[in-house]
Chain A
Amino acid sequence: MKLIKKYIPLAIVFTFGVLTLASYYVPHKVSVDYTELVSQWENIVYAFAFLLGLISLFYSHYNKIARKADGWGYSIFVFVGFLAMVIPAYISGGKQGSETGITLLGWSFRYIYNALSSTMFAVLAFYIVSTAYRSFRIKSKQAFVLFVAAFILILGKVPLGQIIWDSVLGWTKCGVSDVIEWIMSVPAVAGKRGIMIGISIGAIVTSFKIIFGIEKQYLGKD
């Protein structure tokens, strides 16, 4: 049992991990063919992952509705939303309406999904503004530096801000776009580079740990 549940998966991960890593650096036809084949396999696995995700989503929300858990009413809309997109797609069979010039799925996308998705994201703006007022407290020198940088960036992002800057600080002969360019190319890039290097080293180490079987959490508890 240990062979099937532990050693074979570890051997598969090791083999494909090493081969895929090597194929990135080896520009030989065999390596390219291997990458193509694995890419196609990956797409097939991806399709099954989609299906699995869908079943899991439905199962979880069905349980919520069945148990009348907190907020179970919202779970109904998971099914309503899904059916609102899928049923029109099946009914129309990809045929365009003579008047609208779009398929029923296209109609659902444009007038249901489009509107709902935009609304969800737009609501964020209201929360951000409210939070900015209540929570952005300058309590330290670091917070002050952050505030000044954010202030200049926000101001410079819009024409009205540029006009205000020019009328107040125009005598300095230093435009807000010059200051933004400096902030973006020096401190922002330095910070981002540090983060990127840190993330990359972390990802490399984790990948090696998985390839060499040190990290085995993906195998589950059994």
Chain B
Amino acid sequence: MLKEKLQKFFKIDRRWIFLLLAVMLFIPIMKPLGLPNKTISRDVQHSFDFMDKVPAGSFVLFSLDYDPSTRPELHPQAIAMIRHAFKKNLRVGVVTYIAGSTGLIAEIFEKVPKEYSKVYGKDYVVFPYMANPVAVMTQMASDMYGIYNKDEAGADARSLPVMQGIKNYKDMALVVEITGTAMLDYWVAYVGDKYHIPVIGGVTGISQPGYGPYLQRGQLKGLLGGMKGAAEYESLVKVPGKGTSGIDSLNLGHLLVLALISISNIILLIIKYL
């Protein structure tokens, strides 16, 4: 009798689970729990420390390759790292190899530079979308103006003050790649390893464990993983953003997954030995 009752749990209409998750995600969005993020993971700390030590005025290349599907995790990472770069008075260049990124990049640069009184063309530049990333990365090694002769608005890239003294990777201090694709592997293999330029990555939580070998060998100087990585970087930069506010929903969502897996397996055990 009890066995049959318990078995009913596995036949539950999945829409109830959908509803439960929706409620769990919705509550913290409406009323944030404000739980403290106690720890900063090693790889996020390394990313912060590396960027922090780059001398003011150096050129940092940001490759922002994510679209709205991975926006909740990666957009806060990009914003936090660009804030840090501006705070340190670094020159910022932005490239992208995902067409869907262009609108998100525009959103970042509509807002963030104003917070630090940064001027387009003098302190930062955004380059247009390019297809075929590996070919572009290879080309940039000798002369980046062979591909990026104009900025996003069509102005001559060479004449922009922010690009003075920048011709190829040798003139850059750091590459930061934020992506929900395999683009970070390309930056490591075709640029970081080959031209000895430091690379820092920002990836989705699900792909984070895959970059362990690169971190251990020093091929990646640091890594931000998912929304937690963004929240940690925001706390290091001391400007809370969407990463910090989104972590509450993530809290409850993750715990719901754990609770559901545990409950279903406990029920299975009871059914087996009943």
Q: Which A residues form the contact surface with B (CB < 8 A)?
A: 24, 32, 35-36, 38-40, 42-43, 46-47, 50, 101-102, 106, 109-110, 113-115, 117-118, 120-121, 125-126, 128-130, 132-134, 136-138, 147, 151, 153-155, 157-163, 175, 177, 181, 184-185, 188-189, 192-193, 196
Contacts and interface: CB of A to CB of B under 8 A. Distances in A.
A36 B255 contact: no
A87 B224 CA distance: 38
A118 B69 contact: yes
Contacts of B147: 39
B247 to A, nearest CB: 7
Given A43-B131, A121-B70, A134-B10, A189 B265 contact: no
A150 to B, nearest CB: 8
A219 B250 CA distance: 48
Nearest to A150: B261
A155 B213 contact: no
B8 to A, nearest CB: 13
B257 A157 contact: no
* Residue from the set A24, A106, A147, A184 with the largest chain B CB neighbour count within 10 Å: A184
Main secondary structure of the interface of B (DSSP, over half): helix
Interface in B73-98: none
A120 B264 contact: no
A177 B258 CA distance: 17
B209 A125 contact: no
A96 to B, nearest CB: 11
Contact of A154 (B18, B254, B268): B254
Interface in B209-259: 209-210, 212-213, 216, 226, 228, 247, 250-258
Contact of B68 (A117, A136, A151): A117
A129 B260 contact: yes
B35 interface: yes
Given A126-B18, A157-B228, A136 B264 contact: yes
A66 to B, nearest CB: 29
A221 B17 CA distance: 49
B103 A106 contact: yes
Contacts, number: 159
Nearest to B190: A24
Chain A interface helix/strand/loop/mixed: helix
Interface of B: 10, 14, 17-18, 21-22, 33, 35-39, 41-42, 67-72, 100, 102-104, 106-107, 110, 130-132, 135-136, 138-139, 141-143, 146-147, 194, 205, 209-210, 212-213, 216, 226, 228, 247, 250-258, 260-265, 268
Given A155-B254, A193-B213, 9 more contacts: A32-B142, A36-B138, A115-B68, A118-B68, A118-B69, A132-B261, A138-B268, A175-B39, A189-B212
A134 B216 CA distance: 36
Contact of B247 (A46, A120, A159, A181): A159
B106 A106 contact: yes
Contacts of A147: 261, 265
A132 B256 CA distance: 10
A117 B104 CA distance: 12
Contacts of A181: 41-42
A36 B131 contact: no
A130 B141 CA distance: 47
